[in-house]
Structure formats: C-alpha cells, structure tokens
Amino acid sequence: MTDGTNDSFQSHFTLLGFSDRPHLEKILFVVILIAYLLTLVGNTIIILVSRLDPHLHTPMYFFLTHLSFLDLSFTTSSIPQLLYNLNGFDKTISYAGCAIQLFLFLGLGGVECLLLAVMAYDRFVAVCKPLHYMVIMNPCLCLGLVLVAWGCGIGNSLAMSPVTLHLPRCGHHHVDHFLCEMPALIRMACVNTVAIEGTVFVLAVGIVISPLIFILVSYGYIVKAVLQIQSASGRQKVFNTCGSHLTVVSLFYGNIIYMYMQPGNSSSQDQGKFLTLFYNIVTPLLNPLIYTLRNKEVKGALRRLLLGNRKVAKE
C-alpha cells in the first residue's frame, strides 16, 4: 500500500526509448530533427496560406487550418523531449512533464479523430448537397463542430490521464517507450489492469471507431453521388478534393487502430515504438505535402502569395 501511495509523489520517470540501441539513437536524432523542422514549416505554411488568401476562406480550409494546428501541437508535445533524450545520457522526464505529455497525447489525438470526421461531413455536404453547401456549412456550424471535437477530445483525456497516472507502480519508474504513452504506463502497473484496459477499449470505440464509421458512411454516400456524375471532369474534381482527406484518414487511422485496438502483448515493444514514431512525426509531416501536392487551390494560393510579395518588393 505504501508503494502505491508513494507513486503519487514520484518525482520523475525514465524514458528508455531506444537506449538499447545507442548507434541507432544518433541516426534517429538527425532524421527526427529534420522531419520535425519540416513538419513545423509545412504546417505553418498551410495555416498562413489558408488565413492570408481570401480564396481559401471556406469551411474546408477552416478545418484544414485546425488540422495543421493540431499536427503542430501533437508533434511538439513529444518530439522535443525525444530529441533531448536521444542527444544525451539523461533520459528522465519529470512527473509533471510526463502528466502533461500524456494529457496532450490523448487529448490532441482524440480531437484529430473527431476533426477528420467533421472534415468528412464537410466533403459529404459539398458533393451530395452542393446547392445548399454554404447554407449548411455556415460559420456558426463550422465553429460549433470544431468546439465539439476539442471538447470531446479533452474530455476523454481528462477521464483517462489521471486514472493511468495513479495506477500503483510499486516503485517502477522506467517507461519502455520514448514518451509517456498510455499503454506503456499501464504495462508498468503492479496490479491487475483488466478493468482499465476495458475502459480504454470502450472509450477508444467512442472516440476512434465511431468517427471512423461516420467517415466510411459519408464516403459511401460520396461514392454513390460520384457514380451519378456524367462528366469525367466533374468526377476528377471530386476525387481531387476528397482524395487528400482520404489519404490523411488512412495514414492516421491505420496507425492508431493498430496501436490501440489490439491486445498489448500481441506485438513487440520495438514495433510499437516505431509505429508511435510514425504516428507522431511522419503523419504530421506528410499531411501538408498531401494537401499541397494534390490540391490546385492551395498551390494557386501559394503562387499568388509569392508573386504578390515579389511585386511588392519590385515596387
């Protein structure tokens, strides 16, 4: 009983990360640093372009701006700490730092699940109800949907973070991961965790699977509507606007479902770490590229902003 109580006052955790592979740490530091800087630049550009170009002041780009902000926040919640740990012998993180990292990881991940569902609804209205699009997707509804996504994501994190942190660990403070992730912290517990794992599964169904089902249903209606479009150019336009979102959904949900919707012991620890690394850095890095390379409107806005700046410089 004493050990469980002392856990509440634990001053720090040790993030083992990739410390069993010291040569890999140096390579990972360089690769992750470059990827992180590119992620910051790419998502910041998306936010600035969406806000500065009047042509992009639409519901779709309003949601895309929030997605980029989420990616920036999500990757920043863990990658700087990982870079610090990879670059030296100190692998510790304070108890408060671990709690904040866990809260942000759960909260921002939950918000992104729901925001991707909101973006699917936006595409559904745009394709299936084009004449009423601006009436349905009015600024009040867009803001309300984003606030609901943030509220549910943060609420989920507020429910799960304290329960996970207060599990008795009997003095154990070595986290076999590079961040304070919920499954890794649950595995450290020295008590039966079946009840909390069941709760995690139920909440995961609510905040991960339910939005995914909604996305799939929305795209089912979109595909049905596309098949009724006669012109090839009309179909191509729909594929261009929906393709980027579908690609992002596939990357995001593919990783998160594999990590959280299966028994904890069914995959190796190393595999879990690299999947989490992909989820933390590669997906936020690819999102801006997906939306710029596949989207003529964003590329056009970038050109207008760059050419506008050059004209101003010449004058």
Q: Which tens digit of pLDDT belongs to each residue from 270-292?
A: 667 777 888 888 888 888 888 77
**Other CB atoms within 10 Å distance of the CB of residue 242:** 21
Better-scored residue on pLDDT, 39 or 185: 39
Q: What is the pLDDT of residue 170?
A: 80
Q: Residues near 80 by Cβ (< 8 Å), separated by ≥ 6?
A: 36
Q: Above 70 in pLDDT, residue 3? A: no
Three-class DSSP category at 237? helix
Chain-centroid distance, C-alpha 127: 26
Q: What is the CATH number of the domain that holds 130?
A: 1.20.1070.10
Q: What is the pLDDT of residue 263?
A: 44
Q: What is the pLDDT of residue 149?
A: 95
Provide mean pLDDT across the span 11-29: 82
Q: Above 70 in pLDDT, residue 6? A: no
Q: What is the pLDDT of residue 37?
A: 95
Three-class DSSP category at 93? strand
Q: Residues near 186 by Cβ (< 8 Å), separated by ≥ 6?
A: 164, 167, 193, 196, 197, 200, 264
Q: Which tens digit of pLDDT belongs to each residue from 145-166?
A: 999 999 999 998 998 888 888 8
Q: Residues near 150 by Cβ (< 8 Å), separated by ≥ 6?
A: 111
Q: Angle between the 22-52 and 283-293 helix axes, to the nearest 10 degrees?
A: 40
Q: What is the pLDDT of residue 261?
A: 54
Q: Which tens digit of pLDDT belongs to each residue from 109-154?
A: 899 999 999 999 999 998 889 899 999 999 999 999 999 999 999 9
Provide the domain limits for residue 221. Answer: 2-314
In angstroms, the CA 208 to CA 253 distance is 8
Q: What is the pLDDT of residue 84?
A: 87
Q: Which tens digit of pLDDT belongs to each residue from 192-237?
A: 888 888 887 787 778 888 899 999 999 999 888 888 877 777 677 7
Q: Which tens digit of pLDDT belongs to each residue from 241-271?
A: 787 788 888 888 877 776 655 544 444 566 6
Q: Above 50 in pLDDT, residue 4? A: no
In angstroms, the CA 284 to CA 105 distance is 13
Domain count for the chain, please give it. Answer: 1
